[in-house]
Amino acid sequence: MKIVDKILAVDELKKMAAAAFGNMVKAAVDVDRELIAVDAELHSDLEALLLEDGSKQKNIWGINLYPDMHGEEFIELDSLINIRPSHGNRSRGVENEEMRKKIISIVSKRIG
């Protein structure tokens, strides 16, 4: 597991995918601090890593990255950690359009 605070090369992401799920890397995005935690078996482990680093739970969203895909297929906004009815998100996805855009923007900034 690692926190990406600069830029992570897609080739490195591909290596992580190959070592774990084959074609996918789980990630958690802190939308406030614009950080991404990557490379764990569970989104909750990545969430815990970010929390230990000073993030706030309300700012962390779980995603999946598919390094061999492009465009909209590269990012999947789906994780159990996203279910938080008290914040208006009742599904594993990210229901707020502005939040989805922010997550995609951060991923674009940090993965290259």
- The overall average pLDDT reported for the chain is 97
Q: How many Cβ atoms are within 10 Å of 61's Cβ, its own excluded? A: 26
Domain carrying residue 24: 2-110
Q: Tens digits of per-residue pLDDT, 26-44?
A: 999 999 999 999 999 999 9
* Structural domain count of the chain: 1
Helix, strand, coil shares of the chain as percentages rounded to 5?
40, 20, 35
Question: Which runs of E-coded beta strand occur in the chain?
Answer: 2-4, 25-30, 35-38, 60-65, 75-76
Q: Does the predicted TM-score (pTM) go above 0.75?
A: yes
